[in-house]
Amino acid sequence: MTHETPKELLEEMRGPVMWLTINREERRNAISAGVLASMSAALARANQDRAVRAVVITGAGTRAFCAGADLQSGKSFKFDYSEPYVGFANLFRQARQSTVPLIARVNGACMAGGMGIMGMCDMAVCSPTAIFGLPEVKVGLFPAQVLSVLGNLLPRRVLAEMCLTGEPLTAQQALQYDLINHVSDDVDAGVEWMLGRMLDKSPAAIRRGLYTMKKIEAMAFEESMAFTESQIGLFALTEDAVEGQLAFREKRKPVWTGR
């Protein structure tokens, strides 16, 4: 009798929302090569399918969202140094390119590389028992790739304290520092509430809007102004913009085409 190996990343469409669940509960949902490859493939498909309006990323069970690299494997940091681009960094690059909103459902411990997965998302909801940490110094390492997605989310001194002490933040501290959007006693209800406030809005505006937000992050002020003053004219040319403004004048709900 053969036993099928459980999928390391579960994928499910719930209406227009793709749910991705890291399914390694016994390893506190630590990242593996399989998790990275599957998540990358899923994000690529989500961005090619206009029917997908959002992606929710979470971990199986209630103990951990993602504990980061799987230290038990002993192979977590064995890279092929002839390859300039590393898989985990490529996932962050891919998230930065995504024009489908990514939402982190943080159901427990969010540590090390897990902080990167949470940080690459556009929004985050967590349970009151979630904790957020960068404990790499405890095992002789230091956060590296995740700093590229956390640097704009946390105050400099808070980030330095987390990196240098390895000690975690509570859910309430994470909320205080704007690392997350909401703490919800019922994390699923919190995610559904957030999705509900977004899914009735213009798909075209959200798609092009995320593109605009992400593009100007690395620009100086004058570059940013030149880019955004041209972008607003493109927003106005979409079918959704015409419909949205017409619906406003006619005092009715808009019917979006997403184009």
Q: Mean pLDDT of residues grouped by 10 in the chain (259 residues)?
A: 74 98 96 95 98 98 93 69 78 97 98 97 98 96 95 97 98 98 98 97 97 95 96 94 97 97
pLDDT digits (tens, 9 = 90+) for 126-158: 999 999 999 999 999 999 999 999 999 999 999
* pLDDT of amino acid 4: 61
What's the token pair of residue 85? 């681009």
CA distance 178 to 10: 29
Query: Nearest to residue 102, comparing CAs of 243, 198, 6?
Result: 198
Residue-level pLDDT at 69: 85
- Residue 193 to residue 196: CA distance in whole angstroms: 5
Angle between helices 239-249 and 203-216 (to 10 degrees): 120
Task: Identify any residues that bridge with 56 across adjacent strands, giving them in sequence order.
Answer: 19, 103
The closest of 56, 2, 53, 61 to 26, measured between CA atoms, is 61
C-alpha span between 39 and 24 (Å, rounded): 14
Contacts 24+ apart (CB under 8 A), 174-183: 174/126, 174/130, 174/132, 178/153, 179/124, 179/132, 179/153, 179/154, 180/104, 180/106, 180/118, 180/124, 180/125, 180/126, 181/123, 181/124, 181/125, 182/125, 182/126, 183/125, 183/126, 183/127, 183/128, 183/130
pLDDT at position 159 is: 98
pLDDT of residue 2: 47
SS3 1: coil
